[in-house]
Structure 1
Amino acid sequence: MRWALLLMTLVTACLTSCQSLAPRSWDLPPGVKVLPVNGYDMAYVERGQGAPLVLVHGTLGDFRTWDQVTSSLSDKYHTISVSLRHAYPEHWDGRGDDGSLSQHASDLAVFIRALGLGPVHLLGHSRGGTVVLFTASAHPELMRSVILADPAPLMNMLPKRPEVQAAMDQRTVLIQSMLEHFRKGDVDGGAATWINGISGPGAWDAASEGARTVWRANAWTAKTLYGDDRLPFACADAAKIKVPVLLVTGDKSPPIYGYVQESLRPCLERVTSVAIPNAGHGMFRANPQVFNERIGEFLAEH
């Protein structure tokens, strides 16, 4: 009987802590690590030493999104850039419904706990910023500070004004156009539609081949944009975040991201805002020097 109880205990422990029992169907690039999180192997890359800084990419992104940031900030910080569920190195075809914002926020919280590094600085961009927002609200004890770079919109948080609704309608059309390209097999056309729409005309052509490679690899993760903006989240939820928060935007970012920050700012107890000059939504690619300087200054204070 004692052996049976011991065996049951070991099996239970494996099911809870060794959650990814099925083998991965994709290979890991050199230097990439994984942590089993909610039944999925989350890939991540670590650099440097010091206080931990976890970086969360947005739509069409993965851990490689942050290379220009981590190469700078890892001089003083332990940077951990993570790929959310279904992002590269997985080659996702869009099947399944487990790539929601709620799922990603749950995954991120478990991932941070599994790192075992204590409270972290947490930086998220675009949809990744909204994942960070949900995670920080639900698990404030895991946070040392929060950085939200153009977080994606949530309908019930936005100001109720005609120009705001017009901006949301424009974003919806952009998403639909991108996904229609993908359904037709036109990955470059779809990715270019999105990148030019949020970062300005010509942004796709002006980007490095490395950036375009990342966007192509994560094309179908854009599917998760549908429905995310209607998840319930209120000012009271944002107010649960008591650590310092930095809101970042580009001075050329689309208006919708300004409306998002307008709605968040009054809800946050300790909030600072900064605009990156000569940059749109992809501000850390357009002006990496200033972006890294502003992030570094904020981290040094907290």
Structure 2
Amino acid sequence: MPTLRTEDGVDLYYEEAGSGAPMLFVHEFAGDHRSWEGQMRHFARRYRCVAYNARGYPPSAVPTDPEAYSQARAADDVAAVIRGLGLGPTHVVGCSMGAYATLHLGLRHPSLARSLTAVGVGYGSEPSRQAQFRAESQATAARFRNEGMAAVAAVYGRGPTRLAYERNDPRGFAEFLDRLAGHSAEGSALTMLGVQSRRPSLFELEAALRALAVPTLVVAGDEDEPALVPSLFLKRVVPTAALLVMPGCGHTPNLEDPGNFDRALLEFVTRVDAGRWHRPAAPPA
């Protein structure tokens, strides 16, 4: 079973396929490396593709120290995968929690990123929603511990941003719920408390994001309401960012509409590799 070790001694499970320019996929809270299987199969035809499980998600290690989980750790784990596998500057693609880690990689370790793709990012970032998001995260963590993973997954996995997935692909959605139910309850609780509930709002990072020079693609489903305003914010402040809103999609466009998602991602990384992704002109004063 392939693993690599982070600087703080946590073993991360990973899978890879293909050869060529490196592309790394970073999963959401309710997913794992298998969330990117469709993209691994598609892009491995021309790229070296890697997907891994975050700490807290077996077969990666589940550290018991709550301080082992944070937004900074999550970003540094992305860096650990890139360095540990000798990938060099990498196209990094993340969804939701993984999109936060992807953006923070660009802020903390920009030399490791060839491009950044942030999908379904921003839940809880709007200042008016942040307190509620943190309270909900803490309550959900307690439920994982008290009720068990399977019981909570049946409810958590059916939130309003998931309805489009269930409608568009019932078979895939059932598989998503089954995988979520099999996650570690303790790992999920620690991740929810250490990463999700404590991460800074994107709006708090405006100054740093305005200085981000890595080519960036922001993707949101038009039925993923909590991601729409933050995604537009990123488009406005990140000087290298483009925004794609995918119709009829919720929180996981890569799963709900993989054909269009893959085409858009391929167009983006191809332009980056060709040196054709430029900073857009500044808007008129």
The interval holding the TM-score normalised by the smaller chain is 0.7 to 0.9
Q: CA deviation at 1:222?
A: 3.1
SS in 2 for 1:196: coil
Contact 1:153–1:229 at 8 Å: present in 2 too?
no
Runs (5+) with no aligned partner, structure 2: 273-285
Note the alpha carbon deviations across 1:116-136, whole angstroms, 9 max, x for none.
222110111101111111111
CA distance in 1, matches of 2:88, 2:114: 9
Note the alpha carbon deviations across 1:155-214, whole angstroms, 9 max, x for none.
4xx4x5xxxx2x446645653553343233242332233322252448579344432233
CA distance in 2, matches of 1:124, 1:64: 13
Note the alpha carbon deviations across 1:44-101, whole angstroms, 9 max, x for none.
1101111100111111322112112211111121111121222221474966331211
Contact 2:138–2:192 at 8 Å: present in 1 too?
no
Is 1:213 matched with 2:213?
no
SS in 2 for 1:248: strand
Match of 1:36 in 2: 5
Match of 1:77 in 2: 47
Contact 1:62–1:88 at 8 Å: present in 2 too?
no
% identical equivalent positions: 24
Contact 2:94–2:101 at 8 Å: present in 1 too?
yes
- Residue 246 to residue 189, structure 1, CA distance change in 2 (3 Å): same
Match of 1:266 in 2: 236
Larger radius of gyration: 1
Is 1:116 matched with 2:86?
yes
Aligned equivalent of 1:287, options 230, 234, 257: 257
- Residue 123 to residue 214, structure 1, CA distance change in 2 (3 Å): same
SS in 2 for 1:97: helix
Runs (5+) with no aligned partner, structure 1: 1-27
CA distance in 2, matches of 1:176, 1:190: 13
Alignment-mate amino acid for residue 146 of structure 2: K
Match of 1:61 in 2: 31
Moved more, 171-180 or 50-59: 171-180
Match of 1:175 in 2: 137
Is 1:101 matched with 2:71?
yes
Aligned equivalent of 1:247, options 187, 197, 218: 218
Match of 1:12 in 2: none
Match of 2:154 in 1: 192
Note the alpha carbon deviations across 1:238-272, whole angstroms, 9 max, x for none.
13321211000111112x21121122222212111
Q: CA deviation at 1:236?
A: 2.1
Match of 1:226 in 2: 197
Match of 2:276 in 1: none
Q: CA deviation at 1:36?
A: 1.5
What RMSD over aligned residues (CA atoms) do the two structures have, in Å? 2.7
CA distance in 1, matches of 2:150, 2:63: 15
TM-score (norm 2): 0.81
Contact 2:33–2:51 at 8 Å: present in 1 too?
yes
SS in 2 for 1:228: coil
CA distance in 2, matches of 1:175, 1:258: 20
CA distance in 2, matches of 1:44, 1:102: 20
- Residue 248 to residue 218, structure 1, CA distance change in 2 (3 Å): farther
CA distance in 2, matches of 1:118, 1:227: 30
Equivalenced residue count is 262
- Residue 241 to residue 55, structure 1, CA distance change in 2 (3 Å): same
Q: CA deviation at 1:149?
A: 0.4
CA distance in 2, matches of 1:146, 1:277: 21
CA distance in 2, matches of 1:170, 1:57: 23
CA distance in 2, matches of 1:271, 1:231: 14
TM-score (norm 1): 0.77
Match of 2:110 in 1: 140
SS in 2 for 1:60: coil
Moved more, 230-239 or 208-217: 230-239
Contact 2:10–2:61 at 8 Å: present in 1 too?
no
CA distance in 1, matches of 2:46, 2:140: 38
Alignment-mate amino acid for residue 37 of structure 1: T
- Residue 300 to residue 149, structure 1, CA distance change in 2 (3 Å): same
